[in-house]
Amino acid sequence: MGQVNNILARLSALDRRIIFLLVAVAVIVPLLIPIGLPVDITKPVKNIYDKVESLPEGSVVVVSIDYDPGSEAELYPATEAFLEHCFRKNLRIFMLALWPAGTPLGNMALENIGAHYNKKYGVDYINVGYKPGGPVMLLSLGKNVGDMVKTDYAGVPIDSLPLGKEVKSARDMALVMSLSAGDPGVLHWIIYFHARFGIPVCAATTAIMAPQQYPYLASGQLVGLMGGLKGAAEYETLVKRRGRALAGMDSQSIVHALLVLFIILGNVILVYQRSKR
């Protein structure tokens, strides 16, 4: 009994740096020695995939980079996986960013994936860069793209690009994908853009935001949802792409298991301390 007492007392006084170290090990080891746990596909992710599959060739998909480097780890793999699917289906991409630091991230993904499918800038995809004004901007964009977009991200007049000339208003858009880490982001695409213009919206959000999107999934205002890195891993599985999200899933699983152990241990200590009192 005394021994148990001793161990629990020591555990409850554990230096947090030891916990930090355990977490680091739980992340690093599965990356070095992958286990290959199978990834299940959830319905909200499958819904995005099916929606993209259903679009006719040449349709314009709006991809909105509503995140910045702070969420790059979660949302960049989703960006690439989604673009891969769109380019494979010969859909055209109209990219913009509601977050100032999003544009180059979007460009990186467009260039990486676009090159693989021999897509041409200006014809198959364009990036019009950062647009301030959040929700109000979206209302203007839907009515008349030209009001908000004079040039692309590099300053090239939008009218000189074939795809830029074609996208005049929301009517020319088939689907919106908001890769969203907060406000402005997916909520504004739903409440402002979708409500006003009726264009279907799907999203890839940080895991933190994912639970808040469920009422919109239920109401049909959101077609589908990739929640966090797991959502991206599901999409990578669907499009048969071995990307960063899938590579990270073993670590994700092991750390979660470790944290659940921490929670259980913390509560055992609590129960033990109570019973002693």
Partner 1 sequence: MEVLGVWIASLLTLAIYSFLYKDNPFYKVAEHIFVGISAGYWAVILWFDFAWPNLFEPLIVKGNMVYLIPIIIGLLMFAPFIPKLSWLVRIPLTFTMGISMALFITQIIQGDILPQLQATFLPLAGIHPFKVFSNLLIIAGVVFTLIYFYFSKEHKGTLGFAAKVGIWFMMVSFGASFGYTVMARISLLIGRVYFLLHNWLGII
Partner 2 sequence: MKSILPIIVVFGFGFFMLVSFFIPLKGIQDTSQTFQNWYIGVMAFFIFIGIFNIIKINLEKIQRRLRDWQYSIILLICLLVMMAAGFIGGPEGGLFLYFYKNVQIPLGATMFSLLAFFVASAAFRAFRARSPEATLLLIAAVLVMIGRVPIGYWIWHGFPNLVEWIMTVPNTAAKRGILFGIDLGMISMGLRVLLGIERSYMGGGKE
Give the binding site for partner 1 (CB under 8 A).
17, 20, 23-24, 27-28, 31-32, 71-74, 100-101, 103, 129-132, 135-136, 139, 148, 150-151, 153, 155, 190-192, 194-196, 206-208, 210-212, 215, 218-221, 227-230, 244, 247-248, 251-252, 255-256, 259
By CB under 8 A, residue 34 contacts partner 2: no
- Rounded CA separation 203/199 (Å): 13
Query: Could you say which of partner 1, partner 2, none residue 267 binds, taking C-beta under 5 to 8 angstroms by partner kind?
Result: partner 2
Q: DSSP code of 35?
A: -
- Stretch touching partner 2 by CB under 8 A, among 49-57, 118-126, 160-168, 266-274: 266-274
How many C-beta atoms surround the C-beta of residue 210 within 10 A?
A: 19
The residue behind tokens 């239920």 is: 218
User: In terms of CB distance, is 100 or 198 closer to partner 2?
Assistant: 100
Tokens of 242: 């071995």
User: In terms of CB distance, is 91 or 249 closer to partner 1?
Assistant: 249
User: In terms of CB distance, is 27 or 269 closer to partner 1?
Assistant: 27
**Nearest distance from C-beta of residue 21 to partner 2, angstroms:** 9
Q: Which residues of 62-78 are buried (b: 16+ CB within 10 A; e: fewer)?
A: bbbbbbbeebbebbbbb
Helix axes 244-276, 228-238, angle to 10 degrees: 140
Helix axes 2-12, 244-276, angle to 10 degrees: 130
- What Rg value do the Cα atoms of the chain yield, rounded? 22
By CB under 8 A, residue 256 contacts partner 2: yes
Write out the binding residues for partner 2, residues 66-85 only, by CB under 8 A: 68-73
User: Within 13 Å, how many C-alpha atoms sit on residue 218's CB side?
Assistant: 5
User: In terms of CB distance, is 58 or 69 closer to partner 2?
Assistant: 69
Torsion of CA 147, 152, 154, 156, to 10 degrees: -90
User: In terms of CB distance, is 86 or 145 closer to partner 2?
Assistant: 145
By CB under 8 A, residue 20 contacts partner 2: yes
Write out the binding residues for partner 2, residues 196-235 only, by CB under 8 A: 211-212, 214-215, 217-218, 227, 230
By CB under 8 A, residue 37 contacts partner 2: yes
User: In terms of CB distance, is 156 or 199 closer to partner 2?
Assistant: 156
How many C-beta atoms surround the C-beta of residue 33 within 10 A?
A: 8
- In the chain, how long is the greatest CA-to-CA distance? 80
Task: Write the single-letter amino acid at 23.
Answer: V
**Nearest distance from C-beta of residue 238 to partner 1, angstroms:** 19
Which string of DSSP letters, residue by residue, matches 53-102? Answer: HHSPTT-EEEEEEE--GGGHHHHHHHHHHHHHHHHHTT-EEEEEESSGGG
* Residue ranges in contact with partner 2 by CB under 8 A: 14, 16, 19-20, 22-23, 37-40, 42-43, 68-73, 100-101, 103-105, 108, 129, 131-134, 136-137, 139-140, 143-144, 147-148, 153-155, 211-212, 214-215, 217-218, 227, 230, 249-250, 252-260, 262-263, 265-267, 270
